[in-house]
Amino acid sequence: MSDDDTAETAATSENLVELAKRRGYFFQSSGAYGGVGGFYTFGPQGAALKGNVEDAWRDRFAVAEGNMEIDAPTIMPEPVFEASGHLDGFDDMLVECPECGESHRADHVVEDETEYEDAEGLPIPEVEEVIAKYELVCPSCGAGLAGQAVETFNLMFETNIGPGDSDPGYLRPETAQGIFVEFPRLKEYARNQLPFGVTQIGRAYRNEISPRRSIIRTREFTQAELEYFIDPETDEPDLESVADVEVTLYPASEQNEEGGEEIETTIGAAVEDGTLDPWIAYYLGVAREWYAALGVDMDRFRYRQHLAGERSHYASDCWDAEAELDGNWIELAGFSDRGAYDLSKHDEYSDDRFTIFRQYDEPKTVERAVVDPDMSYLGPEFGGAAGDVVDELEDLAARDRSAFEGDSVEIDLEGETHEIPVEKTGFAVEEQTEAGEHIVPHVIEPSFGVDRLVYTVLHHAYREDEVDGEERTYLELEPEVAPTFVGVFPLQSDDALETEANEIVDDLRAAGLSVTYDDSGNIGRRYRRQDEVGTPFCVTVDFETIENEATTVTVRERDTTEQKRLPVEDLAETLAAIRAGDLSFDEL
Ligand code: GAP
């Protein structure tokens, strides 16, 4: 029996990372070759926990919301990232040490050693000034960094598609682009009707300048993203379903104010007073409940709004879900209003249409400026470029009909200006009846980092207490995410006990439970092993099990170490009901 009802949350990243490696949660990859910064392998426990987190995310954000899930490639061609803005805008600030040559994120060096909290949003010359003013030094060797140039560094991993280098490609830095580029097809699957959502769980790659804090900042990680496409004029979220959800918010206005504070409120109240945009509010509410169910400690959780300089190139508003670890807040997820940015860009750069037809309630009669150029004039004048001239004239008429008010109209063709007599353009303003219009949908994006969540769930679940006079470390993981749900042990080495225990293992596995069998070492040590990986229940087969007619086993609950005897014939059903959340151990 646990001697201490108030087990301590004693995690530090140091003891968590040690446990993670020892018990097979995660460890640095390619250790046989010295390891490589920013790449981690999830071991058997970690892969199972991560899989459970992903399944839980899929259940909530794809299935329960009626969204579609896709699985796109992780390498995409260069034009995708020209259009998305990642080639130009997906940079971090790099400063190189003049002594040891180590590269560091300049904004992190500033944030770690000064009172600046958001150096990422500062312009480069200002970061250089701060480094000089505070005489900041290289975190690796201690050499002064003042006077070193701060440069931008694009975070995308580049590769070549096929032999040679004529076809550059990039490992996607976010799973989102795999959804956006397929929009023309996805909208068909959604029967061309807004709103609809598309999710994806998959790897993303960023060549981080200084990966750090184990799986919190890596170069390859898993994202779970939802791109929700809406008509901003007509679509509204189901706010009622989340109105009462309590949240801790840290709006930009509070961050900018001296003595500004986090606000305790509800989703409904925060929308009402204008702190939250309704669509972002909806997802903050859903995610708050979801994180809590997964075991994130809600006393160490908040939503923080991005400051203006901090937002990504595509976002007009963004709130991060943040969890407190070792006294620092880390970002678990971002909830962005991406507006029409991505679809407009792909519409502009690709040959496809990234729009949706919005039907009017009633057909409308509108005036349209049109051209019907005289090709017997344009042909001889412009030869093979006559078609381009027609395109230019059509664009100009739609954009600026006043350009046709004089005797001639000017167009630009490959950098040269040409004058065309208006009478040869066939310009006219016509009345047309239209049933609707093509609009570029807006995108609301909840974007979750899976690795950081795994880390947080473990960190917040880490406990130390004393059992029977011995120190114990255990993970108070929620059954939904625990890698193993039940451990089954024969009390001691004995054929009859082992046969019965193996039969129970088969029964439990047939009921869909994740089970481990352990017959090595004394029973106390076996309990400790399961406690340390967070297994919620252990079943022990003892002589009472095989000797009694009404066969029973001991079921031990991890957190309290309380034990109850249950009939073997009900065991699978009972434990499956607990796993599904339909029954609790206390109720047995
Ligand atoms: N599509 C939007 C997007 O990618 P982000 O804020 O850059 O937004 C979303 O990333 C989430 O991905 C973050 O909240 C974080 O949890 C995770 N993430 C980002 N960079 C990461 C890294 N280097 N290592 C681990 N997780 C990372």
DSSP result, 226-244: EEEEE-TTT----GGGTTT
CA atoms of 439 and 359, how far apart (whole Å): 10
Ligand 1 atom with the smallest distance to the CA of 223 is 12
- Beta carbon of 449 within 6 Å of any ligand 1 atom: yes
- pLDDT above 90 for 314: no
As a whole number of angstroms, the distance between CA 161 and CA 75 comes to 9
Tokens read off for 1: 């029996």
How many beta carbons lie within 10 A of that of residue 125, not counting itself? 9
The protein residue with its alpha carbon nearest to ligand 1, atom 9, reads 447
The residue-averaged pLDDT of 196-216 equals: 95
Residue 89 confidence (pLDDT)? 86
Q: Considering only CA atoms, which of 164, 280, 304 is closest in space to residue 226? A: 280
Q: Which of 12-16, 158-162, 241-245 has the lowest mean pLDDT?
A: 12-16
Q: Identify the helix (H) or strand (E) that includes residue 448.
A: strand 442-449
Q: What value does the mean pLDDT take over residues 368-390?
A: 94
40 C-alpha vs ligand 1 centroid, how far in Å?
16
Index of the ligand 1 atom closest to the CA of residue 211: 23
pLDDT at residue 136 is higher than 90: yes
| Beta carbon of 324 within 6 Å of any ligand 1 atom | no
Q: Does 339 sit in the ligand 1 pocket, CB within 6 Å?
A: no
Distance CA 459, CA 380 (A): 75
Q: How far is CA 51 from the centre of its chain?
A: 15
Give pLDDT, residue 410. 94
Name the residue ranges covered by the structural domains of the chain.
13-83+156-342+443-453, 91-154, 356-434, 484-587
CA of 448 to the centre of ligand 1 (A): 7
Spatial distance between the Cα atoms of 409 and 419, rounded to a whole number of angstroms? 6
Closest CA to 575 of 479, 492, 500, 491: 479
Say what the pLDDT of residue 582 is.
Answer: 93
Q: Is 80 exceeded by the pLDDT of residue 11?
A: no
CA of 217 to the centre of ligand 1 (A): 9
Find tokens 């590269």 and name the residue: 103
For residues 104-118, give the mean pLDDT: 90
Residue 218 near ligand 1, beta carbon < 6 Å: yes
Å from CA of 384 to ligand 1 middle: 49
Tell me what pLDDT residue 588 has. 87
Whole-angstrom distance, CA of residue 467 vs CA of residue 487: 19
Type of residue found at 106: A
Residue nearest to atom 4 of ligand 1 (CA): 174
**How remote is the CA of residue 175 from the centroid of ligand 1, in Å?**
10
Task: Report the pLDDT averaged over residues 287-292.
Answer: 98
- pLDDT score, position 445: 98
> What are the counts of helices (DSSP H) followed by strands (DSSP E) for the chain?
19, 28
**Ligand 1 atom closest to Cα of residue 331:** 14
Best substitution site from 86, 223, 314, 320 to test ligand 1's pocket, by max atoms within 8 Å of Cβ? 223
Which ligand 1 atom sits nearest the alpha carbon of residue 173? 4
| pLDDT value, residue 10 | 63
Cβ of residue 304 lying under 6 Å from some atom of ligand 1:
no
The pLDDT of 313-337, averaged and rounded, is 94
Residue 129 — pLDDT band, cuts 50, 70, 90?
very high
Give the model confidence (pLDDT) of 482-512 as tens digits. 999 999 999 998 999 999 999 999 999 999 9
pLDDT-based confidence at residue 2 (cuts at 50, 70, 90): very low
Q: What is the mean pLDDT of residues 191-217?
A: 95
**Percent of the chain beyond pLDDT 70?**
98
- Does 431 score more than 50 pLDDT? yes
d(CA 47, CA 41): 9
pLDDT at 212: 81
**Ligand 1 atom nearest residue 447's Cα:** 9
Residue 5 in this model has a pLDDT that exceeds 60? no
Residue 3 has pLDDT above 50, yes or no: no
Which of the two residues, 312 and 444, has the higher pLDDT score? 444
Q: Which CATH architecture has domain 91-154?
A: 2-Layer Sandwich (3.30)
Q: Check pLDDT > 90 for residue 550.
A: no
- Give the tokens for residue 224: 């779970």
- Please report which confidence band the pLDDT of residue 9 belongs to, taking 50, 70 and 90 as the band edges: low
Q: Which of 531, 530, 485 is nearest to 511 (CA)?
A: 485
Strands (E), 35-149: 40-42, 68-69, 75-77, 91-96, 103-105
CATH number of the domain at 484-587, out of 3.10.180.10, 3.20.20.80, 3.40.50.800, 3.90.245.10?
3.40.50.800
Do residues 139 and 132 touch, judged by C-beta distance below 8 A?
no
Helix 124-133 / helix 106-113 crossing angle, nearest 10 deg: 40
Q: CA separation (Å) from 123 to 224, 318, 400, 489, 584?
A: 31, 20, 37, 61, 55
Q: Indicate if ligand 1 lies below 6 Å from the C-beta of 169.
A: no
CATH class for the domain made up of 13-83+156-342+443-453: alpha beta
Tokens of 321: 């879900």
The two tokens of residue 265 are 């409120």
